[in-house]
Amino acid sequence: MSKLITRSVQTHALPLLDRFLAVRRQTEALAEPLSLEDQTVQSMPDASPTKWHLAHTTWFFETFLLKPQLSDYRPFDPSYEYLFNSYYEAVGPRHPRPQRGIITRPGVDEVLAYRRHVTEAMVPLIAQSNATDLIELGLHHEQQHQELILMDIKHALSLNPLLSAYAPEPMPATTGAPISWLDFEGGLVEMGHAGESFAFDNEGPRHRIWVDPFALASRLVTCGEYEAFIADGGYRRPGFWLSAGWDCVQQRDWDAPLYWHEDGIFTLGGLRPRRAEEPVCHVSFYEAAAYAKWAGKRLPREAEWEIAAADVALDGNLLEDGLRHPAPADGEGLAQMIGDVWEWTASPYVAYPGFREPAGAIGEYNGKFMANQMVLRGGCAATPRDHIRTTYRNFFPPDARWMFGGIRLAEDLR
Ligand SMILES: [Fe+2]
């Protein structure tokens, strides 16, 4: 009897162990094109050094799994609890976020040794533990940081006058598609995650919501379309802008999306000519809302986006495709819902009805950020493929531009 139980636990654990090792490897592979200096720099308070991401994702497994679950676990270095805690008040004090770039020691080699120490300690724990939900959370947490590694190093490289590439950017296979409009009835619908598969706490509970009839654009707004907004005085005419957005335009001298250079665009492949048919990317919520107003449309609400996405395949231009930049649309029907760019919605990031934070420090993961941010949907070209879901709620402050954020238009049907 005990043998049977052991075998069933091991069989169940095997896919999770494989997945754990693959996710850990993928994070390290993302750092490989970077020099040690690249991995140490911090370009702004919101962006973290690559080395910090490598360490912090490891800290997560050490703090929430190894220390509580393995009585004989020996921490790699007790000072790392302070250095690599991101925002968990319940865990204890931490190094200030804007000063992560000053942590030249430990060096990258020591951080990689820390990763090996924790990965090796996790292997037997994964085989024995029934804390699979927490292990899954640790993996999805690490995948979030994989995207952050690319977002953050892109920002750092963009500020270096050499404008050098993270890695060569392949040419996309797609060349663009005309825009069309898809109608949705709405009504009393359900949204949010349900069931046994993994989701973050903020994706549930599943609940009912009333949605009036609406239409959704078949594809994302392109650079060519956004250029027309700029040419029409988009950044000079306050009538298109929310008040706080217009303040940003003036105070920060915004006159184009982040990473635009005259006719060029800086990508993780370096500086190259901009293509009219590629999706506009690295715009703030304020810019997305201003563009929509100029176009006589609006941004989708997250419930609209989610019910429209209910039948789309969980596939698109994602991290594993290696473009690391949104690609032009292709084909007919609802396109680019998954991958390419995170789509700004008109919905504030707030709790769903019935939401309860989990007990303990892990309850700080999502819930405490539910103010002053907007929801984005659908993943981007830097999002790992098995990390995205149609119920996934990403969130950023409305003035943030360094994530791969773009625009899909919606309109009311009446
Ligand atoms: Fe984190």
For residue 5, name the pLDDT band (cuts at 50, 70, 90). Answer: very low
Cis status of the peptide bond prior to 205, with omega within 30 of 0: yes
Please answer whether residues 49 and 103 qualify as being in contact, where contact means their C-beta atoms are separated by less than 8 angstroms.
yes
Mean pLDDT over 99-122 rounds to 97
**Given this model, what pLDDT does residue 332 score?**
85
Q: In what order do the strands lie in the sheet with 410-412?
A: 181-184, 214-217, 410-412
For residue 130, name the pLDDT band (cuts at 50, 70, 90). Answer: confident
**Given this model, what pLDDT does residue 414 score?**
81
- Distance in Å, CA 137 to ligand 1 centroid: 11
Q: Is pLDDT of 306 > 50?
A: yes
Over residues 354-405, the pLDDT tens digits come to: 999 999 889 999 999 999 999 999 999 999 999 999 999 999 999 999 999 9
Tell me the backbone φ, ψ of residue 204, rounded to 5 degrees: -135, 180
Cis status of the peptide bond prior to 106, with omega within 30 of 0: yes
Q: Is pLDDT of 6 > 50?
A: no
For residue 12, name the pLDDT band (cuts at 50, 70, 90). Answer: very low
Q: Which residues neighbour ligand 1 (ion) by CB within 5 Å?
A: 86
Return the CATH number of the domain spanning residue range 181-412: 3.90.1580.10
Amino acid letter, 229: F
Give the largest CA-CA distance in the chain. Answer: 75
- Distance in Å, CA 343 to ligand 1 centroid: 22
Mean pLDDT over 125-154 rounds to 95
Over residues 320-331, the pLDDT tens digits come to: 999 999 999 998
CATH topology of domain 13-158: Four Helix Bundle (Hemerythrin (Met), subunit A) (1.20.120)
Q: What is the CA radius of gyration of the chain?
A: 22
Q: Is pLDDT of 340 > 70?
A: yes
Interatomic CA distance for residues 294 and 69, integer angstroms:
55
Q: Quick one: CA dihedral 259, 150, 386, 189, positive or negative? A: negative
Mean pLDDT over 285-298 rounds to 99
Interatomic CA distance for residues 252 and 404, integer angstroms:
19
Over residues 17-31, the pLDDT tens digits come to: 999 999 999 999 999
- Distance in Å, CA 216 to ligand 1 centroid: 33
Over residues 175-186, the pLDDT tens digits come to: 999 999 999 999
- Distance in Å, CA 246 to ligand 1 centroid: 31
- Distance in Å, CA 98 to ligand 1 centroid: 15
Q: Is pLDDT of 294 > 50?
A: yes
- Distance in Å, CA 197 to ligand 1 centroid: 21
- Distance in Å, CA 279 to ligand 1 centroid: 28
Average pLDDT, rounded, for the chain: 95
Mean pLDDT over 158-172 rounds to 97
- Distance in Å, CA 274 to ligand 1 centroid: 33
Q: Is pLDDT of 10 > 90?
A: no
Interatomic CA distance for residues 363 and 359, integer angstroms:
6
**Given this model, what pLDDT does residue 129 score?**
82
- Distance in Å, CA 352 to ligand 1 centroid: 22
DSSP 64: I
Mean pLDDT over 144-172 rounds to 98
Interatomic CA distance for residues 379 and 327, integer angstroms:
13
Q: Is pLDDT of 14 > 90?
A: no
**Given this model, what pLDDT does residue 2 score?**
32
- Distance in Å, CA 196 to ligand 1 centroid: 23
- Distance in Å, CA 53 to ligand 1 centroid: 8
Q: Is pLDDT of 8 > 90?
A: no
**Given this model, what pLDDT does residue 315 score?**
94
Q: Quick one: CA dihedral 47, 52, 54, 58, positive or negative? A: negative
- Distance in Å, CA 326 to ligand 1 centroid: 25
Which tokens is 69 given? 């679950």
Q: Is pLDDT of 1 > 50?
A: no
Over residues 173-227, the pLDDT tens digits come to: 999 999 999 999 999 999 999 999 999 999 999 999 999 999 999 999 999 999 9
Q: Which residues of 340-353 are buried (b: 16+ CB within 10 A; e: fewer)?
A: bbbbbbbbebeebe
- Distance in Å, CA 362 to ligand 1 centroid: 11
- Distance in Å, CA 304 to ligand 1 centroid: 29
Which tokens is 115 given? 């990763």
**Given this model, what pLDDT does residue 44 score?**
98
- Distance in Å, CA 57 to ligand 1 centroid: 6
Q: Is pLDDT of 13 > 80?
A: no
Which tokens is 141 given? 């947490």
Q: Is 319 helix (H, G, I), strand (E, B) or coil?
A: helix
The domain segmentation of the chain, as residue ranges, is 13-158, 181-412
**Given this model, what pLDDT does residue 371 score?**
96
